[in-house]
Amino acid sequence: GENVEQHPSTLSVQEGDSAVIKCTYSDSASNYFPWYKQELGKRPQLIIDIRSNVGEKKDQRIAVTLNKTAKHFSLHITETQPEDSAVYFCAASPSYKLSFGAGTTVTVRA
Amino acid sequence: KAGVTQTPRYLIKTRGQQVTLSCSPISGHRSVSWYQQTPGQGLQFLFEYFSETQRNKGNFPGRFSGRQFSNSRSEMNVSTLELGDSALYLCASSQKASSYEQYFGPGTRLTVT
């Protein structure tokens, strides 16, 4: 089955700096790669996703890149703000199942 | 549109009991997936239902089962509860399959004592 590894497990950044989270996947059939943000005590929320026919996607301060050859994808958050503090999960899906990374706890220091 | 809803939000059960959790997807969504979230194991896939059929199943024992009704609402049942079943159980709905955008419900927090 699909195995998704996510790094780092914790990330502390100064407000205004950038944050980068990296994930690797094992199943070359995976074609959908979403990212979720989960604030404390709340449900995971889809923040951005990318499909295997696209190399990069951007939405305001967040962007995701995908390297199919190397089987890795990354989340980039620019100009971080205190409200970006949360746990971020990457995931990969070959078909009917999402496999999640272990999560990255991002703390934005004011 | 209303979001994904789950009931109950909190449950306390004792070992050996069984429990049934409910999930109502976003209107028009036909796929419902269930996940177990724990601090140590993260988000683990349980199963996915589409049009009342289970399409995929994760690596959980047979004590975990589910079903989906014709209105796309889904239930998950856990029998013979164990302490290790204490977790947040999340469901997510999608229009077609889990390879499309999935939207999560608030979860049911299950505590087994």
Write down the mean pLDDT value for chain A: 94
Q: H or E segment at B32?
A: strand B31-38
Structural Rg of chain B based on CA atoms:
13
At residue A97, the pLDDT reads 81
Q: H or E segment at B93?
A: strand B87-94
What is d(CA A83, CA A66) in angstroms, rounded to the nearest whole number? 25
Give the distance from residue B85's alpha carbon to the nearest chain A alpha carbon, in angstroms.
Answer: 19
Contact A46 B103 (CB under 8 A): yes
Task: Give yes or no for residue B109 having a pLDDT over 80.
Answer: yes
pLDDT in tens, B29-64: 999 999 999 987 889 999 999 999 998 899 999 999
What is d(CA B71, CA B28) in angstroms, rounded to the nearest whole number? 9
Contact A96 B58 (CB under 8 A): no
Q: Which of B44, B48, B101 sits opposite A96 (nearest CB)?
A: B48
> How large a percentage of chain A has pLDDT more than 90?
87
Confidence of residue B97 (pLDDT cuts 50, 70, 90): low
Task: Give yes or no for residue A95 having a pLDDT over 90.
Answer: no
What average pLDDT score do residues A22-49 get? Answer: 95
Closest chain B CA to residue A37: B104
The identity of residue A33, as a single letter, is F
Q: Find out whether the peptide bond into A94 is cis, omega within 30 degrees of 0.
A: no
Task: Give yes or no for residue B98 having a pLDDT over 90.
Answer: no
pLDDT in tens, A42-90: 999 999 999 988 899 999 999 999 999 999 999 999 999 999 999 999 9
A9 or A98, which is more confident = A9
At residue B62, the pLDDT reads 96
Confidence of residue A94 (pLDDT cuts 50, 70, 90): confident
Q: Which of A46, A96, A103 sits opposite B97 (nearest CB)?
A: A96
pLDDT in tens, B66-76: 999 999 999 99
Contacts of A44 in chain B (CB under 8 A): 43, 90, 104
What is d(CA A23, CA A3) in angstroms, rounded to the nearest whole number? 10
Contact A42 B106 (CB under 8 A): yes
Tokens of A26: 């094992």
CB contacts < 8 A, A to B, total 56
